[in-house]
Amino acid sequence: MVARVSSILSSHPGPFNSIHLTCSSMGSHNDALKSWFKAFADKHLKELAFLNLHYPNDIMVPTDLFRCKSLKRLYLGGVQLPANTSIIPCSHTFHELWEICLYRCILHEWDIENLLTCSPKVEKLSLVNSACGWPLQLHIRNHSLRCMLHWASSLEELAMVSTPCLERLILWRDDALHWSDCKKIKICSTPKLQVIGYLNPADHVLQINDMKASAATVVPSVEVLAMTIRFGVHEEERMVPCFLNIKKVIFDDFSGEECELAFLSFIAQNANQLEEIYIIPSKNDLSAGSSLGNVINHFMSSILWASAYCRV
C-alpha cells in the first residue's frame, strides 16, 4: 500500500485539492513519508488529513510540511511535529491556511507557536486528545484566530494572551480520561469573545487579565456561557458575575431545587441583555415534567427581570 500511494503521488501532475491518508504504521517507511510530504509541497496541496493509528506516536512529520504554502486545511493525528525548529521557515509560510486540527498528537508549546506564527490567516485551532507534556503552559498569540477548541488534551494552563479576533473558546473534556482537563484558563486581550464553555469551576481556575474571576472582573462581550456549577459552593458561583452580558442561558439537568431557582433568579435580575433561557429537566424528573413546569412558571413570574425581552 505504501508503494501504491507513492506511485500515485509521483505520477499525478498536481495540483492536489484534498488528500486524506490513514496509516496503521509508518515508522519503518521514513523515506516514503518524506517523499509524500515533498509531493504535497511541490504539487500545491490545499487540504491534508494525515492520521497515524499506530501507538506510540513515533512518526515525526517531515519538515516539508512547512513548504506546503497552498494549504487551507490541516488535520494531523497520532504524530509529532518537526523537532528541528531552526529549519522551519519564518512567518507567513502558510499564506492560505485557515483551519488546524491536531488529534492525539504529542506536542510542545513551541509546536503551536510555530504553526500559528506561520499562519497569518488561521481562524480555527483544535487540540483534541493530545498529550502536551507535564506541565505545559500554552500561550496562544494570533491576530486572526476566531475559534479555539480544547478537547480532552493534557494542559496545565491555557492562556489566550493576544487573540483580538477570538470569538469562541470551546472547552470539552472526556470523563474517561482523568488527566485530560486543563486547570487554569486565562483570558487576556479578547475583546470579541462571544462564546465560552464548558467552564467547570471545580477544575478550572479562570483568570481575566491579571485578576482571578470575581464580580469585579467582567467580560462584557460574552453572549453565550456554558458552565458546570455545584450550587452552594461559593468559589464556583463567583464565576457567574463575570458574564452578565450573556444573551442565552441553557440550564441542563434541572430538578427544581432551591439553589437552582436562586441561580436563575440571580441571572434574570442581573443579565440585562438576556434574550433566551432554555431549561432542560433532569432525566430523573422527566415523569414530573408538568409539575416542574408549573414550578418554573410560578417562580419566573415573580421575578423582576433586568431584560425586558427574555423568552423561557
Rounded Cα distance, 259 and 276, in Å? 20
Question: Which amino acid, 114?
Answer: N
Question: Can you give the length of the chain in residues?
Answer: 312
Q: Is the peptide bond before 309 cis (omega within 30 degrees of 0)?
A: no
pLDDT number for residue 176: 45
Cβ-contact 83, 111 below 8 angstroms: no
- In 3-state terms, what secondary structure has residue 6? helix
Grid coordinates in use for 280? 432542560
Would you state the pLDDT for residue 144? 97
Cα dihedral 250, 253, 254, 258, rounded to 10, equals -110
Instruction: Please give the DSSP secondary-structure letter assigned to residue 61.
Output: P
Q: What is the pLDDT of residue 90?
A: 62
Mean pLDDT per 10-residue interval, the chain, length 312 residues? 89 94 81 93 96 80 92 94 65 87 87 89 93 73 95 81 94 58 80 86 76 63 79 69 79 82 85 87 66 79 84 82
Give the whole-angstrom CA distance, residue 20 versus residue 191: 36
User: 3-class DSSP state for residue 255?
Assistant: coil
pLDDT at 100: 98
Non-local (6+) Cβ contacts of 270 within 8 A are 241, 244, 306
Q: What pLDDT is attached to residue 92? A: 65
Expressed in angstroms, the distance from the first to the final Cα of the chain is 57
**Are 185 and 227 spatial neighbours (Cβ–Cβ below 8 Å)?**
no
Q: How confident is the model at residue 134, as a pLDDT? A: 57
In which residue are the cell numbers 431545587 written?
A: 257
Q: Residue 270 — φ and ψ, nearest 5°? A: -125, -25
Question: Of 97, 86, 176, 83, nearest to 129 (Cα)?
Answer: 176
Question: CA–CA separation, 134 vs 112, rounded Å?
Answer: 16
